[in-house]
Amino acid sequence: MSASDIRSAQRPDPDKVLVAIADYVHGYEIDSAAALETARYCLMDTLACGFQALDYPACTKLLGPVVPGATLPGGARVPGTAWELDPVQAAFNIGAIVRWLDFNDTWLAAEWGHPSDNLGAILAVADYLSRKQVAAGEPPLKVRAVLDAMIMAHEIQGVLALENSFNRVGLDHVLLVRIASTAVATKMLGGTREQIINAVSNAWIDGGALRTYRHAPNTGSRKSWAAGDATSRGVRHALIALTGEMGYPSALTAKTWGFQDVLFGGKDLSLPQDFGSYVMENVLFKISFPAEFHAQTAVEAAMKLHAEVRDRLDDVKEVIIETQEPGVRIIDKTGPLDNPADRDHCIQYMTAIPLIFGRLVAADYEDAVARDPRVDALRDKMTVRENERFTRDYYDADKRYIGNAVQVFFKDGSSTDRVEVEFPIGHRKRRAEGIPVLVRKFETSLKDKLDGDRFRTLKSLCADQQKLEATPVDALMALLVND
C-alpha cells in the first residue's frame, strides 16, 4: 500500500465481518426446531440464574436506575424485582443478575464466554417495545421474537469465538457480548441493514475491557457485572444508530487505527463458517454447579470421591488434578483467595469443596465456608497438570469436551481411583440426562420468589414450546416481576 493510499480520505466499503453480521441479523430466518427448543431451555436456565442471584446483596445493590429516581414507568422490567427502567439500564440489570453467579450457559472455543449474557439486551428491548406498542394500540412482540434474537446473539458471539482468541491479547470475552447485543438490539428496534452495520462498527470501536478483574492478583466482582455493562452498551449503540448517526466502515481493518491493528496484534478476524443456528444447538449448560466451566468436570469427579475422602482429610498427601490447557492458564491458582469471585475462578477451591462437603453451591464461595481451615489445607496439597488429550478434545470442533480427572493419594501409600469426566452434564452429548436437571434448576430457583399462581402459570407456559412462542412478551414479563 502506498503512502497516498494510507492518507486517502475516501470511505471504503464496510468490513466483511460487519456485513456478514448485518446480513445475518437483517435477513436470516430461523428454521431450526432444535435451536428453538434449546433456546426455550436456555431462556428458562438464564432466568433461573438471575433469580438465584437476587439472594446476594453484592448483586442487588447494583440494581435499579443509574441514579436514584431515574425510573421509567411503562419501561422495561427486571425479573424478580419491581424496577421499571429505560432499556439501556434494564439491560444492565438483567445482564448483571444473569451473570452474577457464573451459572449460565457457556461456549468454549479459541475464546470462551456466556452467550445468554445477551438476554440482558434482548429481554429489555423486547419488553420496552411490547409495552410501548400496547400503549399505542399495536400488538406486542411475541416470545418467539425473543427466542429468535437469542439464537442470533448466540450465533454471532459463538462463531466469532471459534478461532479468535481475545483473551490471549488481554481482552475480556464480554467484547463479544457487546457486538452480539448491538446487532440484535438494532434489528429488534427496527434498524435497517445499514444501521446495523453502523451500530456494530461503533461497538467494535469501543475496543474491549481488560481481563484484569478475572485474574490473580486482581480477581473481583466486576467479572459478575461486566456482561451487564456490555449488553447494555449494545442497546445504547442500537439507539444511537436509530437516530441516523453514522458508522465507521473499516472499524476493524483500518491501518494503524482499526481494531485489528490496535488491539488484535495486526491479525485478521476469522469467520470460519457462515452464521446459522449452530451455536445454540451445541451450547453448554451449567446445570449442576455454579463454577467456571473449565472446572465443571473436576467438580463432578470430586463429588464421586467425596464419600471415600471425607473422613480421611488429615491423611491426604496429595491431590492430582488433570485439566485442559485453558484450565491451567485461567483457574490454576494458589495462595490466599480474597473474595467469592477469586474462589469461583480457582480450580483447587472448586475441587476442595466437594471433596470435603459433597456439594458445590453458590454460598460455598462466601467467607463463612472459605474460613473452614480444611479448605486451604486441602488446596495446599493439590497439583494441577495439563492433560494433552483433554486439551486436544477441548479444541476439537466435533467434541468440545471439557475433561478433568481427579485422584487423591494418602500418606499410607494408598490412593483413590483416578476419576475422569470428559464432558459435563450440560454438554450436548448428555442432553437427555441434563434437561430434567435444568428444569428442576428453573423450578427451584423461581418457586420461592413468585406467588403460587404466577409460578404455576409460568411453569406450565415454559413447558409448552408453541404456547411460549405465541405468548406476548409483556405478558411473560408480568409473570416474572414482583410489583
pLDDT in tens, 149-160: 999 999 999 999
Mean pLDDT of 256-264: 98
pLDDT at 274: 97
| pTM confidence score | 0.90
**Pairwise CA distance, residues 248 & 269, whole Å:** 17
pLDDT above 60: residue 456 = yes
6-36 pLDDT tens trace? 567 899 999 999 999 999 999 999 999 999 9
Name which of 165, 163, 204, 162 is nearest 181 in CA terms. Answer: 204
pLDDT confidence tier of residue 368, bands split at 50, 70 and 90: very high
CB under 8 Å to 98, separation ≥6 — which residues?
46, 49, 50, 53, 104, 116, 117, 119, 120, 227, 228
What is the DSSP code (8-state) at residue 321?
A: E
Mean pLDDT of 157-174: 96
pLDDT above 50: residue 374 = yes
pLDDT at 72: 97
pLDDT at 288: 85
What is the DSSP code (8-state) at residue 382?
A: E
The pLDDT mean for the chain works out to 95
pLDDT above 80: residue 483 = no
pLDDT confidence tier of residue 5, bands split at 50, 70 and 90: low
Q: Residues of the chain with pLDDT > 70: what percent?
A: 98
When mean pLDDT is compared across 74-78, 232-236, 328-332, the lowest value belongs to 328-332
Mean pLDDT of 69-94: 98
pLDDT at 4: 45
pLDDT confidence tier of residue 324, bands split at 50, 70 and 90: very high
Question: In angstroms, how far is CA 69 from the centroid of its own chain?
Answer: 30
pLDDT confidence tier of residue 415, bands split at 50, 70 and 90: very high
H/E stretch holding 180 = helix 174-188
Concatenating the DSSP letter of every residue in 72-111 gives -TTSEE-TTS--EE-HHHHHHHHHHHHHTTS-S-BEESSS
C-alpha cell read off for 285:
449448560
Q: Is 271 helix (H, G, I), strand (E, B) or coil?
A: coil
